Structure 1
């Protein structure tokens, strides 16, 4: 009887989930009901999936509204009707246009006009599929209305939005947030009626007893509708079924492509390669994943045609077929990649392929996919209300002052000491927390479907301009839609720009480079030495302090070691305590036999019986706990995100424990292994994924080893990496570059290398407008370099403020005129007004002004650079008020091992973390006076007394210690060193002080 039910996917309106709606219906003896969220279908698929558990027949529709003003409710007779409703809704969402007062003539959907709307618009006739909705509140007015004569068109439309008073209060708060208004000023027209509740079916029937024909009409309408989606384990994938239009042709094409790839990937051939290929092809065909592989092949082939760099990773990187099709550059034979992680007969979903492109190339590839295939959409995701954001929103709604909102947001309060209003904010924040706030876009998921995507949901059109589903990846997989991950990555842009720089500046070297010759890179001693010494600044995935530390501890000097390190560094392995255990077993080969359980060591001999890769979860579940491969995969997937709460995951967990007990394992061992699985599986990489990252790391390491300056410029021009730009500039200097501040005649928007001269880009000047940079470059390209300040002013439209920035950073140093003199000239020429842009028939005659001789000190220049660039180009140690008392640096740590050292360092980065009992500690990386890096650790007692106060030079006293050969300093005490007074303001302060003393003496 309920044709108009809302969940909290009626965004900022509804108050409970689709599962809670079903539970509510079950409690009220409702056998069938229609989910009709407002302009939204996010909950529809999961509503259909969960309904059988509650013994309810699910039906789907949409509550079409302009804002909160109801227009009509559409109810799908069947899946085709649901498609019609989604098409109609999507068209209006994409174009942001209002819904018309009269609905279109749907072929497979009913339309219900609310009683009030029929009266308002004086609708006098109704088509076969159209009805008039009567709520409990409307009954009193119906008998006095002419609409009572439309007996066959009247149906029950009792909206369901609330369960109780608390829901209604939450609804009012959501409406106030949506309208950005105080709760006290929320208009009644922006709210639903408090009577929009579900009543027991008997009560509803009793209310409409005098109008039994309305009940009969409603029953007939509900019985005429049905909706079906397959959520069974054996469901067919809903992705595009064929690539060529024929399954037979798809198979022929896939086999042909694999044959063509064999000589390129395996010139030496081999029976093992052929056996692995045959095994994979047989299973891919049996599972119906042929088109999935061909679509990925199509995407990467187009990327290569366009000259785009890409990395294929994910579990698909375990596949030899993917390797032959050049979807990935990871050789599964070399790494003995676990085939069952990639695909097995018990796995319903195809393997994951994450294809990374440069952040510049990714939009182009996304557009290609949308044009190349018919039924395409980006995958949606929900942004939910989080604590801090909710406190701020509700604080504003309740009219709290900013100071009180800030205090609540920080979480430092006692409920007993809060006033009434603050208590309400906390109460309702906890109620609303976790509700969907708005729809967004999955990081990289694209759906390519056999059916139109509107078969599954409506789509909206975010700023990216591509249709996006109103459901997320979890329910997409449930219904058989598997995403293609097309991701953006800056590391690839760095490789691409490095190659472009080489092509432009060193074409003879560029012609010799094959950046995809990974096999040669793996055997290059110069590259492997960089890994061994952890000289990896700027290199993809291996440049962070933690990775640098791990590489030294593991003594990594080859590709296989880097593959392992790429996964060991992930949070889960460290959290489980197995990172340390892995290092111990790696450095002491006998320890594995002593400490590892024989079954674990037999399953994972290459990693000393330690779970390192994601597929290790499958191996342990399958071989240690005797789970089927299908159950093991449920376990792997269940370790992350929403799957963890799914019933199937809980059942597999219980079976894992039961099976182990049946095998005679003790509970201590069982739960130790389970805790390891549970602690890291959601964070670990698949081995093929780690290998893909290691391949890209080797590409960047090759560039750093042989073309370090070109590569460092590319790093800087593509957003840097783990560190601030300042440190990549420092690294370029350490690699032999001479660093120049921006120059009018030599700089561009980004950094530019001339031999070993690196000119910083105008982009570092935070206050310089982009349009000014564009004018400078356009004029310089069209008419040549600038000859003087006067020449520049004749040719470029610029304000005195913008010109002042360029002069102060010494961008006119080619004139050999002091910048203070140039600033005098600029003010005399331009004054305080903006320069007027007008056509010049003749070059203007510049007046000759006599400027006093002025000078600039290096110290003044350093502080100007700090202000305008955010860093200075001299050594920060030169700015100290008191010169360092010693020259100790990274080179001296070995000499001071197990002794105490006094050392100065310029702060690079700090990692703040907590011990298992919640006490704070810090790891800091710094640069010494010679420009080399060293590391410090502040354990909780020291971290409680000392803390880092932003960038600058710090002096440390501490003990040099070694852990697995990695040297660091355990700090005992530290202090931040003061810089000298800024000379640009020193004279002003002195003058002010003298003036004050003079006045005071009077």
Structure 2
């Protein structure tokens, strides 16, 4: 028996996962083990779930500490005791109250104070004891006993298996304390005596006081916590009355059916009745009503939303307004969302604008959160290779340049890994690679730390709404976001029966809302942005889809997506839904995206598809594209039950793939598929496809929901392009940098103006066809300064001159210089050099912190100045520095001397013809030269593990084009950051889309800043 075991959920202290703890204690011969992580209850769920596989009786507890000082260990006698432990810890973590030195009265908890602690109460309660470690036995023998002997029990603290574990602990403690590991004191570390002892070693350790073990055994045998893994713990009703909930849901369903269809058909009614029966049978009524109420609240506040995920497969969700996808029109598979065999509640993903999401979250806490029944869901930030190397480098005392050298490479595999213990500084010094004991140690401990939780973070959008206080299952903490958050992740939450509501945010909804409001302000037109069926028939939008003219439009603007749409010639809703899923990494990485395109364009190719798969998925020519396809294949092809088929889909997730259930489902799949007479090679190929795309695929309803939002963006760009692009730029969340949305605006006739203190607001504004950048687009301008300028201008009108601005707005002088450099003071009529001179004269001899009114009460003399040169090229450099991009044509910055020729580099030195993107179709398979301003690079691995890349550029005419760099070229001519590139290669075409297969590439230098002399 062990009563004080720690896992890696004692963050930066413990080193073993809960399952590793169980493996160890089983091997050591223990039956009763208490997992008591330090100020954390995150490990209980996994510990209890896995214990049955190891023959261990688990006990739940918490090790309460102030820093490294142990106050007491609490053991839950029952479920109420676990609630009491979590509540005590939550009081500290939520409210900031320090843990009491002496435990409060917790009737369902055993409290163990460490022997010899000064804070042990003089009189112990019935459930309170003193824990004696093996090293305390001599002191116990000679101590003056102030408590009855029956109050003493054995306290066996266990954290490490061996010396290597303790060394790992030492490194973690150094990270925690942000110090060198050699500077740690004994007070910073757990003693090596916290080693896991075998059952026999425990008996020998307490041979002089065996009664301590007997009492400890008696305590552990009284601890019975049942986490009831198979029972839902979510809120059971919406209104407080189950029958009232049922009546309301049926009433809302009928109203929604008539709203969506006017005169519902028999098919629509039958589908609704079937869904309602299943939802009622599975007791999911409250789940639907909570989501309906949430969306209703959002609409009342004017917030936009998108209901997506598999919830879009539900007709009821469509009729309640949770989603805007008609599942009958798209033949969506309701059983992907809910089926009679499904035990877990459905999972709606609801997106709100990034500006509105916190209002929605706060509403959930206000409506359902009494008694700590609502919380955000945590996730674990885990140690990954680059971060491990950086952290270990610091605690070992390596200088920054050596840490940087070790960290080079991609994030998952820094380049020195696998090169033994030799440090190669990559040419940073003249010294050859040498054997280095520190590098050797980093290489040895990196695998030990890999994937170990480092600290708690916040799930992207998960919210729990529980019937009981959530502290029945986990303690809560308060991250900077300001909402109570669990100490466990969604995996543990689902294990104990708590299923999240996904309240997500995205920038796309923000730009749609802003654009709609801007159109209304400028034209008075009230756009019904939800009239998506009309948008799908719009000929302008159809043309935009076919040509990939979709920059700025939600989910269809990336280079890969625009290329796919051109290859498919997509121009309808169903085609866009398919494209939204085909583009996902799973389908493309499995090689099935190309196969889909071949079958899409060539009916003869479709005959090569396995007959059974083609019959199951005729719309996608027998290619698995959607998550539902995994269920269909599992159910129809391999003969799995619906529950097994849904488990197959779920098991594809990385969160569950390593579990025992995954192996069982895989075995069932092969067994069922082969018993049905399917050939083994076909089954193996199909399983490979399922494995490769399951984690990175969309439910069809999810793709359909995204397509709805895409059409909303497309409509705005088609008919209100300038308002739309201003909305996109102001939400900072598109695929590209703000610069390229402004470039797109210029293509349609807009003029881009630098910020101006007399015209600009916080974000971009549209004045006829002039787009003024916002003050918040200036990287070096403090947000407070931007707001002060806007407030003062609104209160007292435009600024008359520089002194008027500085008199009315308390700007630090450096902030005023930023405004001058970016051109925001051009309203004064003075040039930038003159303004900078004025500021220097005003500031001369004065304190920057003095009140501006005092600084600028008198007008300074206007001395006779020599002519101050103003260089437009200097403006571009200031814009690059302060905005992140130039407002001029980037090609005008290129320094390309006359007669510049590329090196031969192994291919023909004949001068290639220089072409534009629009000419590529006329130069198929010909060698050409192209200039491009780089907008995006995607690096990827080939099937052999070599790195290659895809580049996207804008040419001198402003048109977009793409390039491909295969591994040999990617290695010889790497991308070197943003700028203008010169590429030479051959034009290739696939399914109507042209790209450049690069043979040579170089980044062209920019002209020197004239203020600092010529090169």
- Paired residue for 2:515? 498
Q: Encode CA deviations 1:109-156: one digit per residue, 9 max, x unaligned.
A: 111111121xx2464321111111111111111121122862221111
Q: Answer yes or no: is the 8 Å Cα contact 2:811–2:852 preserved in 1.
A: no
Aligned-pair CA distance for 1:583: 0.7
- Paired residue for 1:299? 294
- Paired residue for 1:993? none
Aligned-pair CA distance for 1:206: 4.4
- Paired residue for 2:688? 675
Distance 1:202 1:951 in 2: 65
Count of residue correspondences: 979
Aligned-pair CA distance for 1:358: 0.7
Distance 1:448 1:832, change over 3 A: farther
Distance 2:134 2:807 in 1: 78
Distance 1:897 1:715, change over 3 A: same
Q: Answer yes or no: is the 8 Å Cα contact 1:378–1:466 preserved in 2.
A: yes
**How large is the Cα RMSD of the aligned pairs?**
2.0
* Stretch moving more, 528-537 or 158-167: 158-167
Aligned-pair CA distance for 1:951: 2.2
2:933 is aligned, of 886, 903, 906, to: 906
Does residue 976 of structure 2 align to residue 949 of structure 1?
A: yes
Counterparts in 2 of 1:603-614, with a 5 A limit?
603-614=616-627
Counterparts in 2 of 1:247-396, with a 5 A limit?
247-374=242-369, 375-396=373-394
> Which secondary structure state, in structure 1, belongs to the residue aligned with residue 494 of structure 2?
helix
1:814 is aligned, of 805, 827, 830, to: 827
Q: Encode CA deviations 1:382-403: one digit per residue, 9 max, x unaligned.
A: 1111222122222222223334
Distance 2:231 2:849 in 1: 68
- Paired residue for 1:997? none
Aligned-pair CA distance for 1:824: 2.7
Q: Encode CA deviations 1:758-783: one digit per residue, 9 max, x unaligned.
A: 11112232222323222221221111
Counterparts in 2 of 1:453-602, with a 5 A limit?
453-506=470-523, 508-509=524-525, 511=526, 513-592=527-606, 594-602=607-615
Q: Answer yes or no: is the 8 Å Cα contact 1:797–1:835 preserved in 2.
A: no
Q: Answer yes or no: is the 8 Å Cα contact 1:919–1:940 preserved in 2.
A: yes
> Which secondary structure state, in structure 1, belongs to the residue aligned with residue 875 of structure 2?
helix
Distance 2:157 2:835 in 1: 73
Q: Answer yes or no: is the 8 Å Cα contact 2:806–2:852 preserved in 1.
A: no
* Stretch moving more, 889-898 or 822-831: 822-831
1:873 is aligned, of 880, 883, 887, to: 887
- Paired residue for 1:7? 7
* Stretch moving more, 572-581 or 425-434: 425-434
Does residue 398 of structure 2 align to residue 400 of structure 1?
A: yes
Distance 1:959 1:214 in 2: 82
Counterparts in 2 of 1:69-148, with a 5 A limit?
69-117=69-117, 120-121=118-119, 123-147=121-145
Distance 2:201 2:779 in 1: 68
Q: Answer yes or no: is the 8 Å Cα contact 1:151–1:214 preserved in 2.
A: no
Aligned-pair CA distance for 1:48: 1.4
Distance 2:377 2:810 in 1: 46
Distance 1:958 1:396, change over 3 A: closer
- Paired residue for 1:996? none
> Which secondary structure state, in structure 2, belongs to the residue aligned with residue 55 of structure 1?
coil
Aligned-pair CA distance for 1:225: 1.9
Q: Answer yes or no: is the 8 Å Cα contact 1:825–1:851 preserved in 2.
A: no
Counterparts in 2 of 1:623-642, with a 5 A limit?
623-642=636-655
Distance 1:758 1:806, change over 3 A: same
- Paired residue for 1:174? 172
Aligned-pair CA distance for 1:887: 7.1
Distance 1:686 1:31 in 2: 44
> Which secondary structure state, in structure 2, belongs to the residue aligned with residue 523 of structure 1?
coil
> Which secondary structure state, in structure 2, belongs to the residue aligned with residue 335 of structure 1?
coil
- Paired residue for 1:992? none
> Which secondary structure state, in structure 1, belongs to the residue aligned with residue 194 of structure 2?
coil
- Paired residue for 2:951? 924
TM-score w.r.t. the length of structure 2 is 0.93
Q: Answer yes or no: is the 8 Å Cα contact 2:807–2:856 preserved in 1.
A: no
* Stretch moving more, 684-693 or 377-386: 377-386
Distance 1:876 1:406, change over 3 A: closer
| Structure 2 unmatched ranges of 5 or more | 409-413, 423-434, 900-912
* Stretch moving more, 705-714 or 849-858: 849-858
Distance 1:259 1:752, change over 3 A: same
1:436 is aligned, of 444, 450, 453, to: 453
2:1013 is aligned, of 986, 996, 1001, to: 986
Distance 1:134 1:810 in 2: 73
Q: Answer yes or no: is the 8 Å Cα contact 1:538–1:720 preserved in 2.
A: no
Aligned-pair CA distance for 1:351: 1.9
Distance 1:412 1:605, change over 3 A: closer
Q: Answer yes or no: is the 8 Å Cα contact 2:842–2:855 preserved in 1.
A: no
Q: Encode CA deviations 1:272-323: one digit per residue, 9 max, x unaligned.
A: 1001000000000001111111111111111101110011111111000100
Distance 2:801 2:119 in 1: 73
- Paired residue for 2:960? 933
> Which secondary structure state, in structure 2, belongs to the residue aligned with residue 972 of structure 1?
strand
Q: Answer yes or no: is the 8 Å Cα contact 1:720–1:728 preserved in 2.
A: no
Distance 1:400 1:34 in 2: 39
TM-score w.r.t. the length of structure 1 is 0.95
Distance 1:913 1:102 in 2: 57
Distance 2:58 2:137 in 1: 27
Aligned-pair CA distance for 1:378: 0.8
